[in-house]
Amino acid sequence: MPRHKYFLDLHELQFKRIRYPWKARLSRLSLWIAASIVLSVFYNTLFYSHFGSLKAKLLRQEIDDIKLNYSLLSRDIDNSDKLLDNLELSDGNCYRPVLDMDPIPGSVRNMGIGGVNRYEELEGYENSRLMLTYAKRIEDLRNRSTLQYESFRAIEGRQEEWKREMEYLPMISPVNVTYRLGDGVRFREVHPVLGTPQWHHGQDFSTPYGTEVFATGSGRVIEAGWKGGLGNCIVIDHGYGYRSTYGHLSSMKVSAGLNVKRGDLIGLTGSTGTSTGPHLHYQIDLYGQFKNPLYFFNNDLTEEEYFEMIQTLSAHSKYR
């Protein structure tokens, strides 16, 4: 029950209830409501100034967490940058030069991105500059990584071809390298048999009769028979423009059309054709141009090291 206020009427000597006019009551109610609102605003302002709202506090915490994540992201991006720098350095200075591949131009590696604004949705925020900076760095990493991935794929493909090329090129001596070297690639003023001036286009190895002759690189035998002044002669096509010729043989162990591996026995030295004694005439042609065979192998192996190499090559070719 609401409380009522009373007053003592001295004339009538009795208590009478105080009755306010409706305007006065309405005015008192308005004043009470206004005072309550002012007091509520005061207390809320005082509380928020010291403690803040729960929602604002949660938002500030979320912003702090995001800034921390950006700091961690910056460290990861820096590490990725260094890793990509090393990969690009190895790509340009090691892999591509060894495999005879052209380097990737700097204009391609540093190619920018044009067109529409790709980061429009990140603009207009308090930390837009921070977000734009990292978005662009991540995009740059993505583009560089994609380019490097494609480069390594090309290098991998070229590597397989390069390994095959290295197997097929004539890269060892055809006979034991301890045997004495005879005439090399030079102009002979007097041929030892014919007595006329002419070019000598290969390298002679002075060997005992019947010395083993080995294929200097993998390939296909395209000639195996008599060839004029070279006598019994074998010619191997190694591909890539290379051919090797083995002349003055006493015996041939292969025939035309046969595929051979580096280190396979193909014949024995002799003195067939135009020759003054047992030796091997060894010749390398590249697209029809004569090359010095001494540039294609080391001349410092011992006899034991040479035949150990031949045995290794022969065993390797059997299990291919």
Question: Domain spans of the chain?
Answer: 6-50, 65-168, 180-318
Q: What confidence category does residue 50 fall into, taking pLDDT thresholds of 50, 70 and 90? A: low
**What is the reported pLDDT for 190?**
43
Residue 236: Cβ-neighbour burial (10 angstroms; 0-12, 13-18, 19+): buried
- pLDDT on residue 2: 55
Give the largest CA-CA distance in the chain. Answer: 171
Report the pLDDT value the prediction gives residue 111, as an integer from 0 to 100: 67
Average pLDDT, the chain: 80
Residue 5 has pLDDT above 80, yes or no: no
Of the chain, the percentage scoring pLDDT greater than 70 comes to: 75
Most confident of 8-17, 20-29, 35-44, 238-247: 238-247
Helix axes 54-90, 128-168, angle to 10 degrees: 20
**pLDDT > 80? residue 283:** yes
Segment 162-181 shows an average pLDDT of: 85
263 burial type by CB count under 10 A (0-12 exposed, 13-18 middle, 19+ buried): buried
Q: What is the pLDDT of residue 18?
A: 66
pLDDT over 70 at 188, yes or no: no
- Look at the pTM and tell me if it is higher than 0.85: no
pLDDT surpasses 60 at 38: yes
- 193 vs 234, which has greater pLDDT? 234
- Among 107, 276, 149, which Cα is nearest to 204's? 276
**Arithmetic mean of pLDDT, 191-205:** 59
CB 281 within 8 A of CB 244: no
pLDDT band at 218 (very low <50, low <70, confident <90, very high): very high
Can you identify the CATH homologous superfamily of domain 180-318? Glucose Permease (Domain IIA) (2.70.70.10)
Stretch 150-161: mean pLDDT: 86
Residues 129-150: what's their mean pLDDT?
Answer: 84
pLDDT at residue 178 above 90? Answer: no
CA gap 279, 195 in Å, rounded: 19
